[in-house]
A and B are shown apart, each in its own frame.
Chain A
Amino acid sequence: MTFPSVAKIELNDGGLEPFGDGSPESFGGRGPESFGDRIALSMRAPNRFRWLLGGDGDQLTITLGGTFSIDEAAALWRRVSEALESRRKPASVRIDLSDVGSMDGACMALLVHLRTEYGKRRVQCEICGGSPELRGLLDLHGRRRLRLRSRRKATDAVEQVGVATIGVFSAVVHVLDFFGELVLAAFTALRVPRSLNLRDVGLTMERAGADAVPIVLLINFLTGFVMAFQSGAQLERFGANIFVADLVGLAMVRELGPLMTAIIVCGRSGAAFAAELGTMKVSEEVDALRTLGILPLRYLVLPRVLGLMLVAPALTLLADAIGIFGGVLVAAVSLDVTPAAFMTELRQVMVPWDVISGLIKSVVFSGTLGIIACQRGLATSGGAEGVGRQTTSAVVISLFSLILLDAFFTVFFGALTS
């Protein structure tokens, strides 16, 4: 059976492919061969390759010809996949490169893959023929595998829980260790003030404090605004408009001002600290500091934590004020509560402890955020991916800790004042 030299036929799978001379000889005298029930075709076109199947008995011969480059790799891969998916399992396979004009590494890699896959199925596969350059390329792509030590992963659920528990305890020990060393560094700084890296304290106060003012103002204004808006609608039903001052004022100074400010600091400064220290860790700058006799906790961590704790009260006061202003605005516009009435009501219900407790929270929140972010940063390993991972971890753990601390303070201050 012969085929026209240039024609198009519809394959069983509905695909259309141009093909060239497909004489019976190309099928080893056995007539059309099936790739899993489809007819094998000879393809010849300018710059295309030939993939001819043949063989005797249980030996399959794949004769390749033409030019193989990355442009032909996709088509070659289809042939390789079809050969591997074929239900026919020969005893041995011979891939003949004698008629190949040139081949690049990508195509050679696919043939090596075919040989390897046949090997896994215990089918002997040999790649033969070809110019010395092709043989050299084959040697290059069929080299000895790197012996990698495989890391044993925990298999069953009990083992996984055990590994995770050990990991948690180990992390807690590291954090406590870190906190302890930081306290020691703080005492050293108190004894020898010159040892404190004041330059970084100032830089941190500028970046975490002054630079954060616009966003702190915006977010807390909106917080007060939304709170007054939402609560005002309900209060108006009971003719209790004036109590919007109590609600917004007390909520801002006791809870939302410190918390929203801490969240902003976490996102801005916490992530920045973790990324900065993590990058220093992976680029060996932290090691270099140690070899110069500088303890990283004293030089890098303490100034950052101190800087955050120093700016926290100021940022929180700004947050409280602008949040209350947002409430005043809504109350004046939609609740018929004048600013003067608002502030009079607020002065009646608010006591200094409300503001002070909020400021204490803000200092503790900021200190905690700083410690967590720096600890995560200094624990970084594994290049850029490690820096990203620890930065994310710093933010997540910080947010979780904020909520935990806020709950603690709510109970603690509640017990204190009751």
Chain B
Amino acid sequence: MISVRGLSVGHTDRVLLQGADFDVEQGDVFVILGGSGCGKSTLLRHLIGLETPRAGSIHIAGIGAPRLRGTAPEYGVMFQSGALFGSLTVGENVAFALQEWTDLPEPAIDAIVKAKLALVGLEGAEDKLPAEISGGMKKRAAIARAMAFEPNLLFLDEPSAGLDPVSAAQLDDLIMVLNRALGLTVVMVTHELPSILKVGKNCIMLDKETRSIIARGDPRELGRTSDDPRVRQFFAREAA
């Protein structure tokens, strides 16, 4: 589904990751993890197409850069804070891409919006403004918006960040349902260990010091089998 070769990413004055190679298979729940400041979210932004790599290539379903060319969305994205459009209701947020890119009549769009909100447990919240709902609800609404155009691929940036344990667990369950029931490929950035171990099928771990991928594989195995002390420390939640 996603093929990354020789990727270098960073900001204007520094490199965060260099020479990265990895693949995301269809149907995977792929987790990008690592300590704070190691470039997880920056890597995700490059995969989405919001930023241009310094070097290397990213192909999604065989299509390379540039993406986000002002065409119909090929994949869904949920940003860390939800990034719902504040002047639109939850329903209007979810309907946005459908109104822009389809010729569906309004009643059909309404029906799809209701179904998407029901999928994420927000049925009845169509007329609420983003300022009127909680952080967890915003994230679920953002997932509903990302799902509205029936993508095969979903990018999630820190889905559990800032949520209480119950809401975080509910969001993890939702991700698992989307993956298993709909066959959705999920790429997520997180450093929440419970989420990683619960939903992750495959992962890469980034390291700030070496600016490289220092581990890859099943997150449930890595913590036990890795020879790298940094990896074991991360999974054991130990201070350096």
8 Å CB contacts to B: which residues of A271-330? 280, 283-285, 287-295, 298
Q: Quote the shortest CB–CB distance from A4 to chain B (angstroms).
A: 52
Q: Any chain A CB within 8 A of the CB of B125?
A: no
Partner of B96, one of A283, A287, A292: A292
A285-B85 in contact (CB<8A): yes
* Given A293-B100, A294-B100, A288 and B79 contact (CB-CB distance below 8 Å): yes
Q: Quote the shortest CB–CB distance from A125 to chain B (angstroms).
A: 25
Which residues of chain A come closer than 8 Å to B237, judged between CB atoms?
none
* Given A149-B14, A284-B79, A291 and B85 contact (CB-CB distance below 8 Å): no
- How far apart are the CA atoms of A27 and B15 in the complex, in Å? 58
B101-A293 in contact (CB<8A): yes
- How far apart are the CA atoms of A288 and B50 in the complex, in Å? 10
Q: In chain A, what residue has the closest Cβ to B85?
A: A285
Q: In chain A, what residue has the closest Cβ to B73?
A: A293
B48-A291 in contact (CB<8A): yes
Which residues of chain B come closer than 8 Å to A294, judged between CB atoms?
70, 100
Which residues of chain A come closer than 8 Å to B84, judged between CB atoms?
285, 288
B72-A293 in contact (CB<8A): yes
A287-B50 in contact (CB<8A): yes
Which residues of chain A come closer than 8 Å to B45, judged between CB atoms?
287
- How far apart are the CA atoms of A287 and B81 in the complex, in Å? 12
- How far apart are the CA atoms of A283 and B157 in the complex, in Å? 13
Which residues of chain A come closer than 8 Å to B195, judged between CB atoms?
none
Partner of B80, one of A284, A285, A293: A284
- How far apart are the CA atoms of A289 and B45 in the complex, in Å? 14
- How far apart are the CA atoms of A291 and B72 in the complex, in Å? 9
Which residues of chain B come closer than 8 Å to A149, judged between CB atoms?
14
- How far apart are the CA atoms of A292 and B155 in the complex, in Å? 13
B81-A284 in contact (CB<8A): yes
Report which A residues bind B (CB closer than 8 A). 149, 280, 283-285, 287-295, 298
Q: A288-B85, A288-B142, A289-B85 are in contact. List 7 more A-B contacts (CB 8 A).
A: A285-B86, A287-B83, A288-B145, A291-B68, A291-B76, A293-B71, A295-B70
5 A-B residue pairs with Cβ-Cβ distance under 8 Å, sorted by A, are A280-B86, A293-B71, A293-B72, A294-B70, A298-B70
